[in-house]
Structure 1
Amino acid sequence: MKKAPLYSRSRRGVAASAEPPPAPASAPEAPAAARRPSRLRSFAARHERALWIAAVLLLLPVALLWRNGPRPPAPLSFEQIDHLVRESIAEKPLASAAARAYDKIIPSVVRVIGYDREGDKPRPERKARREPAGAEDPHARRDAGELPGFEERGVGTGVVIVDNGTILTNLHVVMGAERVRVTFMDGLESDARLLTVMPEHDLAVLRADKIPDDLAAATMRSTTDLAPGDRVMAVGFPFGVGPSASEGIVSGLKREFRSPEGERTLTNLIQFDAAANPGNSGGPLVTMDGEVVGIVTAIMNPTRQRVFVGIGFAVPIENAAAGAGMPPF
């Protein structure tokens, strides 16, 4: 039986494939890329001197730039640093420590006013409470136009210790008053009610009925590391003028003060020489960090003038905070 032929994909026929292979030809020449290195080497050998000169000319500007470029600045001497600091301070003086302390405490300071009903005569016990701690002179009353039927009996100071309107002041500032009003630093006025009294420390805790939206409470600091010679500031409304600030130092610790009438003796007091006058009562005594270490409560004067002669007393803030129901330091 005759078989069908098989065809190869080669272009050559079967007969051609049967022919003996042609004799091997000589090896093909190397491609141009393979011959290039030898040409480069020969070119470099012929122009070696010119290539070295070109390389030097190319590298010379780079070397000059590196040599003359920016270098790390040399460290400043102590004299140079001192001169720069003095120039900076002369251009923009730094705020004093007292100014910084004042700025920190002032948003928490309030003016406290007690009112009597018009026509009421000051009772002897009211006068006794006001005298020792420096409340405004009870005889210097002013009509309270904003409170019909009432008249002012004295001006004192208070400090906000909780931002819900809780205020510390002196007991003698508010005791016996028919009505108490406080004025915050933004001008907001509010009635205040008495929450707690601490007669042994001449302190009272008030709560304002209305408070500013951004009311800030003062920062209180322990007196355990307070020492004579430490700088302090008294902030308040002396004779109703203020807010006013006066700077001094701690003159002594654990002092006692007895009221002129001898009714009450206060103990464990901070003695200070920052000026305080009637109206400063209940205000904060602060450090140069603006932190409250005491509540101004009394001034000592051997005369009847009731003005400051260099000896003031403050209740340590630990006693005040404990009476207000706040945790100890």
Structure 2
Amino acid sequence: MRKAPLYSRSSRPAAPAAGPAPATPAAPQTPAVPAAAPPGRLRRLALRRPGPLWALTGALLATALMLGVLGLRPGQRVITQDDIDAAVRASLEKEPLPSAAAKAYETIAPSVVRVVGLPDDKDESAGDSDAEQQAMERSLGTGVVIVDNGTILTNLHVVANAKRIKVRFANGHESDAQMVGAQPENDLAVLRASSLPDDLEAATMRSTSDLRPGDHVVAVGHPFGIGPSTSYGVVSGLKREFRSEQGERTLSNLIQFDAAANPGNSGGPLVTMDGHVVGIVTAILNPSEQRTFIGIGFAVPIENAAAAAGMPPF
């Protein structure tokens, strides 16, 4: 069905002065739209104040168009916001979206590495599995790639006394690594892997300036050699201090969090829900002799960690 033109005929030139043009009768089904130049007072109004007349004409056209659309679909119910919400809920029930923690883990996982500090330089691949077993008892940890040339952040206590350092990347690629930097006051070490996987991805680091208690975070690592594993929690506090059981040093300006962390998580990333690293997991607090998690973990802010790697602050 042809539609009426969506413009007003009143914009056509006025009839010659010899006499008014005869009015053309409107078809019965045509919406009420001005059919010719307005006579008399309306014509004078149009010449003096065209704005109001255009507004009136536009309103009439809009009304006519709305009536035409409604007339094409008689009896159709108007869609409400409740209808839209119900449709979204039904779609999510069929195909639920991944949780924010799952998306954060997927983002950071390619950059997480397993770090083992071996007590001697024997070739593990030659069958000396006892060396790694010993390392798992006292110097197994985690690291995170911060530069795609193989630069890795981890904890100093993971590799401090190691004669040989081995790393295993997310895709299973293994390599020796050397310690190229350290920041003892923050228990940080910087490693450089000797060989790299082809698809190595560096993590994205994020400033902690807007981090607040209650913000959701995940900790990713290899607790007790199991991993990579992820745990979910919140930032419990900022600018905390922690003194190791041996009393060797006091760490300050730490992020306190309650995502589960255990031996083996040391050196792993503390990550926000956008998958960005805000800290390096470094310690857990447990007053008992059991070195297990009771809800209080600490991470070094990434600003300190980046400085250890010689990277400029945010």
**What 5-or-longer segments of structure 1 have no aligned partner?**
1-55, 57-64, 120-142
Residues 209-288 of structure 1 aligned to structure 2 (within 5 Å): 209-288=194-273
Asked if structure 2 preserves the Cα contact closer than 8 Å seen for 1:235 and 1:285, the reply is yes
Shift of 1:261: 1.5
What CA RMSD, in Å, does the superposition of the two structures yield over aligned residues? Answer: 2.4
The 1:74/1:322 distance shift into structure 2, 3 A limit, reads: farther
Asked if structure 1 preserves the Cα contact closer than 8 Å seen for 2:145 and 2:152, the reply is yes
Residues 3-42 of structure 1 aligned to structure 2 (within 5 Å): none
* Residue 123 (structure 1) aligns with: none
* Residue 19 (structure 2) aligns with: none
Question: Match of 2:250, as an amino acid?
Answer: T
Q: Does 1:298 align with 2:298?
A: no
**What 5-or-longer segments of structure 2 have no aligned partner?**
1-27, 29-67
Q: Does 1:312 align with 2:297?
A: yes
Asked if structure 1 preserves the Cα contact closer than 8 Å seen for 2:148 and 2:202, the reply is yes
- Distance, in Å, in 1 between the alignment partners of 2:203 and 2:127 is 29
Q: Partner of 1:239: helix, strand, or coil?
A: helix
Q: TM-score, normalised by structure 1?
A: 0.70
Q: Partner of 1:151: helix, strand, or coil?
A: helix
Asked if structure 1 preserves the Cα contact closer than 8 Å seen for 2:262 and 2:284, the reply is yes
Question: Match of 2:108, as an amino acid?
Answer: I
- Distance, in Å, in 2 between the alignment partners of 1:291 and 1:313 is 17
The 1:296/1:68 distance shift into structure 2, 3 A limit, reads: same
Q: Partner of 1:117: helix, strand, or coil?
A: coil
Q: Does 1:108 align with 2:111?
A: yes
The 1:230/1:194 distance shift into structure 2, 3 A limit, reads: same
- Distance, in Å, in 2 between the alignment partners of 1:66 and 1:226 is 52
Q: Does 1:321 align with 2:309?
A: no
Asked if structure 2 preserves the Cα contact closer than 8 Å seen for 1:284 and 1:292, the reply is yes
Asked if structure 2 preserves the Cα contact closer than 8 Å seen for 1:115 and 1:150, the reply is no
Shift of 1:117: 2.4
- Choose 1 or 2 for highest CA Rg: 1
* Residue 185 (structure 2) aligns with: 200
- Distance, in Å, in 2 between the alignment partners of 1:172 and 1:266 is 13
- Distance, in Å, in 1 between the alignment partners of 2:129 and 2:200 is 30
Asked if structure 2 preserves the Cα contact closer than 8 Å seen for 1:118 and 1:150, the reply is no
Consecutive aligned runs of 4 or more in structure 1 exceeding 3 Å deviation: 65-71, 143-150
* Residue 140 (structure 1) aligns with: none
1:170-191 deviation line (CA, Å, top 9, x unaligned): 0000011010010001110000
Question: Match of 2:181, as an amino acid?
Answer: T
- Distance, in Å, in 2 between the alignment partners of 1:144 and 1:210 is 17
Aligned residues: 243
* Residue 176 (structure 2) aligns with: 191
Q: Partner of 2:92: helix, strand, or coil?
A: helix
Shift of 1:118: 8.3
* Residue 166 (structure 2) aligns with: 181
1:4-29 deviation line (CA, Å, top 9, x unaligned): xxxxxxxxxxxxxxxxxxxxxxxxxx
- Distance, in Å, in 1 between the alignment partners of 2:263 and 2:271 is 18
Asked if structure 2 preserves the Cα contact closer than 8 Å seen for 1:118 and 1:151, the reply is no
* Residue 36 (structure 2) aligns with: none
* Residue 158 (structure 1) aligns with: 143
Shift of 1:262: 1.1
* Residue 102 (structure 2) aligns with: 99
Asked if structure 2 preserves the Cα contact closer than 8 Å seen for 1:117 and 1:149, the reply is no
1:232-282 deviation line (CA, Å, top 9, x unaligned): 100000000000000011010000000112111000000001000000000
Question: Match of 1:113, as an amino acid?
Answer: V
Shift of 1:144: 4.3
Asked if structure 2 preserves the Cα contact closer than 8 Å seen for 1:274 and 1:312, the reply is yes
- Distance, in Å, in 2 between the alignment partners of 1:75 and 1:270 is 52
* Residue 18 (structure 1) aligns with: none
Question: Match of 2:236, as an amino acid?
Answer: S
Shift of 1:74: 6.8
Identical residues among aligned pairs (%): 65
- Distance, in Å, in 2 between the alignment partners of 1:202 and 1:167 is 14
- Distance, in Å, in 1 between the alignment partners of 2:184 and 2:173 is 29
Q: TM-score, normalised by structure 2?
A: 0.73
- Distance, in Å, in 1 between the alignment partners of 2:70 and 2:192 is 75
